[in-house]
Amino acid sequence: MQRRVRTRTIAALSALGLTGVLGGCGAGGDSSDVTLTLVAADYGTGEADSSEKYWADLVERYETDHPGVRIDVSVYSWNDVDRKVKEMVDAGDPPDMAQIGAYADYAAEGRLYRAGDLLSIPVQADFLSQLSAAGEVNSVQYGMPFAASTRVLFYNKDLFAEAGLTPPKTWDELAANAEALAARGVTYPYALPLGPEEAQAETMQWLLSGDGGYTDLAGTYGIDSTENVETFSWLRDELVGKGLTGPVAPGKLDRAKAFEAFAAGDVGMLNGHPSLMEMAEKKGVEFGMVPTPGADGASPATLGVADWMMAFKENGHRDQVGDFLDFVYSEENVLDFSREYDLLPVTGSASRTMAASERDKDLKPFLDQLPTSELYPVGNTSWAAVNAAVKKQIGKAVAPGGSPAGVLGTLQATATRAESAE
């Protein structure tokens, strides 16, 4: 789904009055009569809260004070946005900016501006350190974090109370709870979304909970490690194989549909990020949140996710892009976006404000986890190919008769080939 945000007036330089200190100062050409294009992902759940509205408001405020540069924003669903940007790049017509899920392949091809050539020093320095590091390729930052989240286990308090259950701390307790919920007719005792929308997230959360992951401590892919195979074998045998994951095959269940089912009261447990809180509250679902269970206790690591802003060099406009992004990353705008979509701020200033704010207290469990969370290996240019392969294939690992070792081995082979092509 595409939505377009077309500005009604004109916008331009010096949004924060920092033109003189921009890293890219002096190399963008005349600031007048320039149109900047931005392709962005939709974080909303429908027309009422589409990201189109966030960008329309932000662009209008930027325009009001700065005549000269037009901002043209196109908003696509997460199912389409990465593919759309790739199509534009392949056609030789990349946007000036893209806010999507991965940046490293474009950086490796030399297509992106360095963050330091765009942002003012205070803005770049305000990014949370682990997110800045995750935005680097060969120790140079190209990816600018735009939104972040962590994961916890959500559970339906009413369904748990009716079944006399307590929140699980281990896999075995989770499976036992799921069996009790299934016996009471709960549609999705545990929702396992391994469909193509966001399978890489559910997959990594489970791998981490089994003391594994996509990569080892040295950053080398180990997708078919013994720990990972054991994790997916357990999922296949103890949850999916016993009918505890609901009527939709995990490989066909998208995260958005799983969240909708939870908000409808049809899910006993699932891994969720902060935006699920508001969805559930709006539908009157009483929920609890606990750390993700692990094989023998709480998961040793938590999934952290960051989405990325990047700027392509193809069209020039370095100064204008940098100035607009300084505005995008102001504390006010970062907080507005984070609060609108129940996500975590990517900057220190906004994070400190949120941590101290009573209105944001529900996000504190997620905020507390972010500094020590583990992110996807987004700095590897191979990650885009691995990510796409996980989304397409991982559901087969838990299907009836599926082979976790075979599927994970195929994914490892994909990662090896992708790294060899770097």
pLDDT tens sequence across 247-289? 999 999 999 999 999 999 999 999 998 889 989 999 999 999 9
Co-location of 19 and 134 in the same domain: yes
Q: Which residue, among 207, 260, 199, 195, has the nearest Cα to 235 in the 3D structure?
A: 207
Residue 213 lies in a domain: yes
What pLDDT was estimated at residue 20? Answer: 30
Class of residue 47 by CB neighbours under 10 A (exposed 0-12, middle 13-18, buried 19+): exposed
pLDDT in tens, 85-141: 999 999 999 999 999 988 988 998 999 999 999 999 999 999 998 899 899 988 999
What pLDDT was estimated at residue 32? Answer: 56
Co-location of 409 and 340 in the same domain: no
Section 384-396 average pLDDT: 94
Q: Which residue, among 151, 160, 153, has the nearest Cα to 286 in the 3D structure?
A: 160
Q: Which residue, among 299, 360, 402, 408, has the nearest Cα to 416 in the 3D structure?
A: 408
Section 50-77 average pLDDT: 91
Residue 369: helix, strand or coil by DSSP?
helix
How far apart, in whole angstroms, are the C-alpha atoms of residue 340 and residue 94? 28
Co-location of 289 and 156 in the same domain: yes
Select the highest-mean-pLDDT range: 21-35, 366-380, 391-405. 391-405
Co-location of 363 and 241 in the same domain: no
Residue 28 lies in a domain: yes
What pLDDT was estimated at residue 218? Answer: 82
How far apart, in whole angstroms, are the C-alpha atoms of residue 64 and residue 251? 47
Co-location of 255 and 201 in the same domain: yes
Co-location of 114 and 38 in the same domain: yes
Q: What is the pTM of this model?
A: 0.76
What pLDDT was estimated at residue 165? Answer: 98
Q: Band the pLDDT of 9: cuts 50, 70, 90.
A: very low
Q: Band the pLDDT of 422: cuts 50, 70, 90.
A: low
Co-location of 256 and 365 in the same domain: no
Residue 4 confidence (pLDDT) above 60:
no
Burial code (b: 16+ CB inside 10 Å, e: under 16) for 318-336 equals bbbbbbbbbbbbbbebbbe
Which of the pair, 164 or 64, is modelled with greater confidence? 164
Residue 377 lies in a domain: no
How far apart, in whole angstroms, are the C-alpha atoms of residue 143 and residue 281? 33
Angle, CA 259 vertex, CA 201 and CA 151 arms, to 5°: 40
What pLDDT was estimated at residue 69? Answer: 85
Beta strands per DSSP E along 104-157:
136-137, 140-141, 144-150, 152-156
What pLDDT was estimated at residue 270? Answer: 98
Residue 181 confidence (pLDDT) above 60:
yes
Question: Domain of 96?
Answer: 2-148+306-372
Domain boundary among 333, 350, 372: 372
- The interaxial angle of helices 199-209 and 383-393, nearest 10 deg, is 90
Co-location of 20 and 167 in the same domain: no
Q: Using DSSP bridges, classify how beta strands 97-100 and 304-311 pair: parallel, antiparallel or unpaired.
A: antiparallel
Residue 108: HSE in the Cβ half-sphere, 13 Å Cα cutoff: 17
DSSP secondary structure string for all residues of 222-238 = -TT-HHHHHHHHHIIII
What pLDDT was estimated at residue 105? Answer: 87
Co-location of 391 and 365 in the same domain: no
Residue 94 lies in a domain: yes
Residue 158 confidence (pLDDT) above 90:
yes
Percent of the chain with pLDDT over 70: 92
What pLDDT was estimated at residue 22? Answer: 30
Residue 102: helix, strand or coil by DSSP?
coil
Residue 242 lies in a domain: yes
Co-location of 134 and 177 in the same domain: no
What pLDDT was estimated at residue 3? Answer: 40
DSSP secondary structure string for all residues of 163-231 = HT----SBHHHHHHHHHHHHHTT-SEEE----STTTHHHHHHHHHHHTT--SB-TTS-B-TT-HHHHHH
Residue 90 lies in a domain: yes
Overall number of domains in the chain:
2
Residue 230 confidence (pLDDT) above 70:
yes
Section 73-81 average pLDDT: 92
Q: Band the pLDDT of 30: cuts 50, 70, 90.
A: very low
Co-location of 273 and 401 in the same domain: yes
Instruction: Identify any residues that bridge with 342 across adjacent strands, giving them in sequence order.
Output: none
Q: What is the CATH number of the domain that holds 400?
A: 3.40.190.10
Residue 14 confidence (pLDDT) above 80:
no
Helix (H) or strand (E) holding 259: helix 255-263
Co-location of 101 and 185 in the same domain: no
